[in-house]
Amino acid sequence: MGMGDKMPREELAGRVGSDEAHTAEPTSFLEVRDLRIHFPTDDGLVKSVDGLNFKLDRGRTLGIVGESGSGKSVTSLGILGLHNRRNSKVSGEIWLDGNEIVGSSPDQVRRLRGKNMAMIFQDPLSSMHPFYSVGSQIIEAYRIHNDVSKSVARKHAIDMLGRVGIPTPDKRVDDYPHQFSGGMRQRAMIAMALSCDPELLIADEPTTALDVTVQAQILDLLRDLQQEFNSAIIMITHDLGVVAELADDVLVMYGGNAVEYASVEDVFHGPLHPYTWGLLGSMPRMDRERTERLLPIKGSPPSLINLPSGCAFHPRCAFAELNGGKSETEVPLLRELAPGHKAACHLPLERRREIWDEEIRPKL
């Protein structure tokens, strides 16, 4: 499917804007507004995502980073509408190319899945069905959304496998996932995700299971494909290195919400949240020797049932005492501190810049 048959965004936006149920027209290709995803459990309400906002345009890549349990994967599954409505509560708005997903029927969302938005999962071996050949899994994905014959779909599958760099795709198409190497499997996974030219591609830790050289190949591939298809990409990772390679914007999540949201340059050169500093400090660097040891973030991720009061990060924050206990009582808002650079922290901005310049950056 080519780019030509996509409707101009203005038109779509205009149409949806007439719907009074929504507060405002979306201005971006993807807009997430006040997204909350809660899971009632026997122990209490797990607030995996709690009031998240972000935007993404076509042709651009958003990196979502954070530790396990920060809510990044839950967010991506929320966008795809994959949360079971029986055991989860999703609220807020997710606008994809003018379609609101949270309020749509499961079947409406299903029609968008795979076609308008697709996902690449972390572990390609467990994420592909072991009993079906790679080709048939791609064919299946393609034929749901395109009324074509099996042979046409098969040609398309071979074509896709070729495009993601799998050698002799016409032979490999009938192989099973376990017959592929890890990198090839991830390529096949990408081929499957891209088979319907999705406008939004969500990649959840796409390279975690792979060795470093293969990682780089996969990232190159994603970059190339993005240029080719003009997709919007959400790259979910805990690896800031990947983000640095690929992302245009970065969303740092902690405890189910964004703590910093900025362009990739700002995040790497002038991050304004202690948690981001921590992430940077614990990032291994390939390009040069570290002057000191890695700086891991002390403590462990917070409980999503009972988030710490005030700033959720304060129990682990080395600088929380610097503002007279405000961090422990008051939830900091995500505020725009510089054009296109938002962060949620009570520390005075100047003090943060000082700490970054004097204490953090030199150690990286």
Partner 1 sequence: MGVPRDPRGAHRSARPPPLFSFIIRRLLGAVGLLLIVSLVTFAIFFLLPRLAGASPDDLATKYVGKAPTAEAVAATKERLGLDDPFPIQYARYVKGIVVGQDYSNGPEVNHCPPPCLGYSFVNNEPVLPTLMDRAPVTLSLAVGAAVLWLIGGVSIGVLSALKRGTVLDRAAMAIALAGVSLPIYFTGLLSLAIFSYWLKIIPSTQYVNFKDDPLEWANHLSLAWITLAFLYAALYARLTRAGMLETLNEDYIRTARAKGLPERTVVVRHALRASLTPILTIFGLDLGLLLGGAVLTESTYSYAGLGTLSISSIEKGDLPMVMGVVLLATVFIVVASLIVDLLYAVVDPRVRLS
User: Which residues in this chain contact partner 1 in the complex, by CB under 8 A?
Assistant: 77, 80, 82, 106, 110-115, 118-119, 121, 123, 125-131, 133, 140-141, 144-145, 175-176, 178-182, 192
Residue 116 vs 237, nearer CB to partner 1: 116
Four-point Cα dihedral 236, 238, 244, 246, nearest 10: -20
Q: Which is nearer to partner 1, 12 or 79 (CB)?
A: 79
261: nearest Cα among 269, 81, 271: 271
Q: Which of 106, 93, 127 is nearest to 204 (CA)?
A: 127
Nearer to partner 1, 67 or 204 (CB): 204
Structure tokens that stand for 314 in this block:
């304060």
Among residues 4 and 130, whose Cβ is nearest to partner 1?
130
Minimum distance from CB of 179 to partner 1 (Å)? 5
Encoded tokens for 88: 């989860």
Task: State the nearest-atom distance from the C-beta of 171 to partner 1, in Å.
Answer: 11
Please, are residues 249 and 264 in contact by the beta-carbon 8 Å criterion? yes
Q: Identify the residue whose tokens are 């290709």.
A: 29
CB of 140 to partner 1, least distance (A): 7
Q: Any bridge partners for residue 35, and if so which?
A: 52
Residues near 340 by beta carbon (within 8 Å), at least 6 away in sequence: 262, 263, 266
CB of 137 to partner 1, least distance (A): 8
- CB–CB of 39/87 below 8 Å? yes
User: Nearest distance from residue 213's CB to partner 1, in Å?
Assistant: 16
The residue among 133 and 276 lying less far from partner 1, judged by its C-beta, is 133
Kindly state the smallest distance separating residue 195's Cβ from partner 1, in Å: 9
The smaller minimum CB distance to partner 1, of residues 195 and 257, is found at: 195
